[in-house]
Amino acid sequence: MPTDAPAKDPLLTPSEVAEAQQLLQRLIDGLGSAILGQSELIEQVVICLLARGHMLLEGLPGLGKTELVKSLSSLLGLSSRRVQFTPDLLPSDIIGSPILEEQNGKRKLVFHLGPIFANLVLADEINRATPKTQSALLEAMQEHRVTVLGETHPLPQPFFVLATQNPIELEGTYPLPEAQVDRFTFKINVHGVSSETLQQIISTRKRGQPPALAEVMSGTELSRLFDLTDRVHLPEAVSNYIARLVTATHPQRPGSPDEVKKFVKYGASPRAAIALANTSRAAALLAGKPNVGFHEVQKVAPCVLGHRLILDYSARLEGWTPPKMVDLLINRVAEVAHQFPTDVRP
């Protein structure tokens, strides 16, 4: 006896899209007033937040990475903590540890929560901590919980980690292994701002400090945005494009471009395809669309795939970088396969 197919979520209505647009515009305007000249970065952060992912930022000190997390916390009314990673930082300094306390005349171990128990966590200079400490954070990012002495403690929801690493002063650092970098939904290179923006910062702000920000969205409204993001329609043609784009990153696949076969050592994992789908939905909602198009996939692909491609040693000699390889894939992989998907066939 055939089983009933699972019920699909209803498509977004124009009023629901307009509702999301209004909420997101308030958030973007608030971030834009605090972080000047970084509109593209702000969009990427909002997309990653809607997709409930984690973000790795790489850039020079003083570009506003810490202020970005503080601004998000104020605008969303969420708790935030900053952890400065150093070589002597221990896993217990992040996740917390049991401490022997006396209660009602008896001594017992009481778990004291670490700074990871916050909605927004800034892991500053994550590559300066030892691999053991890095792994403690990355495990919590994946599981959304920590286990100490056999007792599991769930992390607050939503849970968003924004980690940073500097491309300079690499002596004594511990680069994240490629398999662990894969835990980050986005990796973004943060660039400096223009001279006009610098003049605006020093002319309009006392001591360079941003203005005080008021909460623009309640927890209920944020949860509503998450629900609306999940309901953005992903057409079969677009999901097929995502699958073929990720498959084309693997050098052993017959249809991969010649440059991939020559210069890519390892391609993207299935987690990359899931991240592409989730962030494309978020990008579509941010653009005011009820469904995902090819443009949204191409918009988020550099942030999703760039840190998941491992190039051969000869690639650098030929001037190839992961971002350049992602651009090539976007240009080479056809948006529509030769065979029409089932949901657009006559």
Report pLDDT digits (tens) over 251-271: 998 888 999 999 999 999 899
Same domain, 90 and 160: yes
Q: Which of 252, 255, 237 is nearest to 329 (CA)?
A: 255
Alpha helices in the chain (DSSP H): 14-34, 39-50, 65-76, 91-95, 131-143, 178-181, 195-204, 219-230, 236-247, 258-263, 270-286, 294-305, 313-317, 322-332
Same domain, 298 and 240: yes
Same domain, 218 and 265: no
Same domain, 99 and 180: yes
By DSSP bridging, strand 55-58 and strand 80-84 are: unpaired
Query: Is 74 a residue whose pLDDT tops 60?
Result: yes
- Are 330 and 301 in contact, with CB atoms under 8 Å apart? yes
> pLDDT tens digits, residue range 52-62?
999 998 877 77
Sign of CA dihedral 85, 87, 91, 96: negative
Specify if 5 maps to a domain. no
- Are 153 and 103 in contact, with CB atoms under 8 Å apart? no
Q: What is the CATH number of the domain that holds 168?
A: 3.40.50.300
Same domain, 91 and 46: yes
Same domain, 128 and 257: no
Specify if 1 maps to a domain. no
Take residue 282 and report the two structure tokens written for it.
Answer: 């978020």
Same domain, 269 and 294: yes
Domain boundary among 231, 261, 290: 231
Specify if 188 maps to a domain. yes
Same domain, 100 and 221: yes
Take residue 309 and report the two structure tokens written for it.
Answer: 């491609």
Domain that holds residue 46: 11-231
Burial class for 252, CB neighbours closer than 10 Å (0-12, 13-18, 19+): exposed
Specify if 3 maps to a domain. no
Specify if 190 maps to a domain. yes
Q: Which of 73, 75, 166 is nearest to 121 (CA)?
A: 73
Same domain, 332 and 214: no
Q: Collapse the DSSP code of 68 into the 3-class scheme (helix H, G, I; strand E, B; otherwise coil) and give the result.
A: helix
Q: How high is the pLDDT of residue 117?
A: 93
**Which band of pLDDT confidence, cut at 50, 70 and 90, is reported for residue 152?**
confident
Same domain, 265 and 192: no
3-state helix, strand, coil in the chain (%, to 5): 45, 15, 35
User: What is the mean predicted confidence (pLDDT) over 1-10?
Assistant: 58
Same domain, 225 and 304: no
Specify if 2 maps to a domain. no
pTM, entire model: 0.88
Distance from C-alpha of 185 to C-alpha of 61, rounded to nearest angstrom: 22
Domain boundary among 211, 231, 251: 231
Domain boundary among 173, 196, 231: 231
> pLDDT tens digits, residue range 299-310?
999 999 999 999
CB atoms within 10 A of CB 192: 13
Same domain, 223 and 238: no
